[in-house]
Copies of this chain bind each other. A is one copy, B any other.
Amino acid sequence: MTAILRTSNMKELLKQNIRKHIVLSENETEEFCDLFEQKSIQKKGFLLREGEVCKFEGFVTKGLFRVYHIDQNGFEQILYFAVENWWITDIDSFCNETPSQLYIEALEDSEVLVITKINKEFSYANLPKIEKLFRVMTQKTHVALQRRMIDNLSKTAESRYIEFREKYPHIIQRLSNIQIAAYLGITNVFLSNIRKKIALKK
């Protein structure tokens, strides 16, 4: 009983999120959201590992994930974090059905609503507005990545850190400095130097 109530609360989050992007009737929303299935992932558990084909798109209702890549030298680069109300997938692997180069790992005990590729394709065919939903969402994600690309090319690690702190204060407090450094594209040693320098300025 409790579990059922909790699941419907999570679907409520999803419905709210969809409404932020497009206008859908109550029936359409219901029909689409019914295609999602709830998954619990414990801290340090993986939703996806390198080499697997990503067969889902997920909507985080609880917890925190990191999406990262491990390079030839064994260093981790974090593409993005996903907390409540964020979507996660490896769009490259999902669209092209190729082995993923990414890991998606829970940094806290987490809950995700996932839709399979088959059900997503089904929605595209049956609910034309879902096509619009994902067009709009992909556009927004792309805009965010484009801004980050410009920042990475033009700003120092220090200002990237300061801006990340300002933009995501609620996320940063849930992250270790190791994770923050891997997102900023620097070592945790250098992040420590930056933090000291900032602290001294005050």
- State the A residues within 8 Å of B (CB): 69, 71-73, 75, 77, 79, 91-92, 95-96, 101, 124, 128, 131-132, 134-135, 138-143, 145-150, 152-155, 185
Contact = CB atoms under 8 A, between A and B. Distances in A.
A185 B131 CA distance: 35
A146 B91 contact: yes
A79 B150 contact: yes
A185 B138 contact: no
A143 B92 contact: yes
A160 to B, nearest CB: 12
A101 B149 CA distance: 13
Contacts of A146: 79, 91-92, 145
A91 B185 contact: no
Contacts of A131: 128, 131-132, 135
Contact of A152 (B124, B142, B147, B152): B152
